[in-house]
Structure formats: structure tokens, C-alpha cells
């Protein structure tokens, strides 16, 4: 039941967005696909993005990227995760307001959140984790220090519709 609702969300997003072939000029997508062994670099002319989407190159994360491009005025940068060093290079260079991690398969979201959170330059950066298998969106904000250890407990909110997801992001940018 949950998967079918999430699939309906993706299909609604794709239908609403008309895929990326009908994007208007001010809603352009900057997409970076990194292959193992190759460097992931931003174009030197690129501007900082409001939302950095990290995914597996799936229909799910492409649909979320298209949804945000068509439904908001946010600048969206979508990358396919390959490894931690390449990810950190993009995060530091892009300086996003928020990061949205899309998990539709075996992407290790905890490792991604932890690697971004421990970087002192990323303090205060809001990280969202959305999953194809669940309507629950994890929101990671400030890490908590306790006994010399850093904990990053998420706040959980439900996103059943595309408007829910857009509203959650809008409240945290």
C-alpha cells in the first residue's frame, strides 16, 4: 500500500512536470553523472543551488528533481552518488541551502548524512531523506553533542503528495 502511494506520487510528479523536455529557461536542470574512476566536477560557470538532490540515477530522483524545477523557483542540482569524496567536492562547491537524498534502492543514506554532517563547513545545513518505500521524510538539522559524541537524530514528517514535499522543503529553506 505504501509503495503504491509513493509510486502514485512519482507518477503524479512526472505527469505534472511533463518530464524535463518541457522545462522553461529559468527552470533548467544541472545534472552531473559520475562514473567510478572519473572526477565529478561542476561547470565553472554554475551558480550555487538552492537544492542539491543526491540519488541513484533512478526514475524516483529524476522525478523529484523535475517536480521541484517545475513547481518552484528553486535552482536544482541533481547528482548521481558514486563515492564520498566526489560528493563532498560537489556539496562544498555548490553551497546548497538544503540537500535532498532520494533513496529508491541500496543507497546508504546514513553514510551520506553522516559524511556531510561532520564537515564543519556544513553546520546548519538541512538534509532531507525521501524514500520510495515510505511516505516518511527524515529531516536532519543541527547535530547534537552528547558525551563527546555527535548524534544526528532526524525529525520525521509525512509527505503523501507532491504539495506535502514542496511545503516541507519550503519551510526549511
* Mean pLDDT, residues 45-50: 52
> Does any domain span residue 37?
no
Higher-confidence position of 82 and 144: 82
Distance CA 153, CA 51 (A): 21
Higher-confidence position of 11 and 107: 107
Checking if the pLDDT of 104 tops 90, the result is yes
- Number of helices (H) and strands (E) in the chain: give both, helices first: 5, 9
> Does any domain span residue 43?
no
Domain that holds residue 101: 2-31+48-171
> Does any domain span residue 41?
no
Q: Which pLDDT does position 85 carry in this prediction?
A: 92
Q: How many domains does the chain have?
A: 1
Question: How does pLDDT run across 49-82, given as a tens digit for each residue?
Answer: 589 999 999 999 999 999 999 888 889 999 999 9
Question: How does pLDDT run across 7-43, given as a tens digit for each residue?
Answer: 555 555 544 444 332 233 333 344 433 333 322 333 4
> Does any domain span residue 39?
no
Beta strands in 26-141, from DSSP E residues, in sequence order? 29-33, 51-55, 76-80, 98-103, 126-131, 134-140
Q: Which pLDDT does position 2 carry in this prediction?
A: 53
Confidence (pTM): 0.69
Checking if the pLDDT of 143 tops 80, the result is no
Q: What is the CATH number of the domain that holds 114?
A: 3.40.50
Distance CA 168, CA 162 (A): 10
Distance CA 2, CA 98 (A): 26
* Mean pLDDT, residues 118-145: 84
Q: Which pLDDT does position 5 carry in this prediction?
A: 59
Distance CA 32, CA 170 (A): 24
Q: Which pLDDT does position 62 carry in this prediction?
A: 94
Amino acid at each position: 500500500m505504501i509503495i503504491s502511494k509513493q509510486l502514485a506520487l512519482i507518477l503524479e510528479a512526472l505527469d505534472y512536470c511533463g518530464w524535463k523536455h518541457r522545462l522553461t529557461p529559468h527552470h533548467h536542470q544541472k545534472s552531473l553523472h559520475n562514473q567510478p574512476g572519473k572526477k565529478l566536477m561542476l561547470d565553472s560557470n554554475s551558480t550555487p543551488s538552492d537544492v542539491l538532490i543526491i540519488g541513484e540515477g533512478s526514475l524516483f530522483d529524476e522525478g523529484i528533481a523535475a517536480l521541484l524545477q517545475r513547481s518552484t523557483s528553486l535552482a536544482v542540482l541533481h547528482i548521481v552518488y558514486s563515492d564520498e569524496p566526489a560528493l563532498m567536492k560537489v556539496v562544498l562547491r555548490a553551497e546548497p541551502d538544503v540537500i535532498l537524498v532520494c533513496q529508491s534502492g541500496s543507497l546508504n543514506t546514513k553514510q551520506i548524512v553522516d559524511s556531510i554532517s561532520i564537515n564543519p563547513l556544513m553546520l546548519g545545513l538541512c538534509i532531507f531523506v525521501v524514500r520510495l518505500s515510505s511516505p516518511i521524510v527524515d529531516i536532519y538539522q543541527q547535530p547534537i553533542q552528547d558525551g563527546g559524541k555527535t548524534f544526528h537524530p532526524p525529525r520525521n514528517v509525512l509527505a503523501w503528495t507532491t504539495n506535502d514535499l514542496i511545503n516541507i522543503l519550503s519551510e526549511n529553506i
